[in-house]
Amino acid sequence: MQEFCAARRWLAALILVLPVCTLQAAPPASSGWASRPEVVEFVREMVDKHGFDQAGLIDVFDRTRTADLALKLIAPPPATGKRSWSAYRARFVEPVRIRDGLRFWREQADPIRRASERFGVPQEIIVAIIGVETVYGRNTGDFKVMDALTTLAFDYPRRAPFFREELEQFLLLSRDAAVDPLQWRGSYAGAIGLPQFMPGSIRRHAIDFDGDGRVDLRTSASDAVGSVARFLSNHGWRPGEPTYFQAIVEDEARARPAVEAGVPPKLSLTELAALGVSSPQSIAGAEPLSLIDLPDGDKPTQYVLGTNNFWVITRYNRSYFYAMSVIDLARALKDAANAPQPGKRPVER
């Protein structure tokens, strides 16, 4: 009964009228969010900027709860040891993700092929991103997105502007979909669905790829596949180009300025050579590159030369470890798909 009334109140906010609900239930204890000055100001901005109904939006914040666990999970871990590329990679390039990835690839062969052809992104990269993000939909998160985003927007000063923007986008997304914001589930950071898109990315890059007239990244694998490919394409993916080249670093201290230059790639082969950086591979053309360092605990640091497409993957997640894990899982998936398997048909590409 209470959920019915809440849904009516939210839909009323969408059409800018006051709610009418004749079936009354005892309201839950107030969370306190709706009375906080910064939330009141945020609501006023949403009313002025996007035409939200103030009473309806205040009601949404009244039903929102503080996600204490989200604050704990998003906090940077204490610096207790050296970063290890090998340990990080092993979490994602592993038998379960390869096995389940091949199954996902076969089951979604048609949308994966269509997405690759339309957006120019290799099939294995699309599959690998969904594998790294949620193990092909197995782990999409069980936090209430409204709770998580509100908590991080107003109680996590370190990244408050980012999460306030995502909260704004999330409320717009909910209004567009005519869904009560409290019904969405996702990660502790507010990411949603198989590809773990933030609300702003859903509104900018997600696509209805199964033709049912709506975008659904939570249950439609086709929409997830098409949206991942479109995201990478919109960020400048270049079809047919590599993601990186092997790097040889003569002296780490001398090469440090190249590492600190970061991404996107901006260094020429000549500039890299002046810093003692080269590649055993033949690199055609004059496209700029970036020197990517992969610290590996007590082992020597590994280096690669990142291309534009490496940088595009970091638009999904800024971590170099993340980008290389996607690339390595994609390679492992492609190798496994091409390997002879008695009694099984290979993935059609």
Catalytic sites, residue numbers: 133
d(CA 150, CA 7): 19
Calculate Rg over the CA atoms of the chain: 23
d(CA 18, CA 26): 19
Cα–Cα distance list, 216 to 33, 123, 156, 212, 306 (Å) = 29, 20, 29, 9, 33
d(CA 58, CA 31): 11
H/E segment holding residue 195: none
Report the relative pairing of strands 143-144 and 185-186 from DSSP bridges: antiparallel
Question: Which residues have a Cβ under 8 Å from the Cβ of 268 and sit 6 or more positions away?
Answer: 286, 288, 289
Burial 108-120 (b: 16+ CB within 10 A, else e): beebbbebbeebe
Q: Residues 192, 195, 198, 200: what is their CA dihedral angle, to the nearest 10 degrees?
A: -120
Tokens of 141: 């998160």
AA identity, residue 343: G
Partner residues linked to 31 by β-bridges: none
Tokens of 155: 């109680």
| Closest of 311, 299, 234, 297 to residue 267, by C-alpha | 311
Alpha carbon of residue 244 to chain centroid? 21
Tokens of 97: 């993700």
Tokens of 7: 């849904």
At residue 293, φ and ψ (nearest 5 deg) are -100, 140
Cβ atoms of 273 and 240 closer than 8 Å? no
Tokens of 128: 């690998």
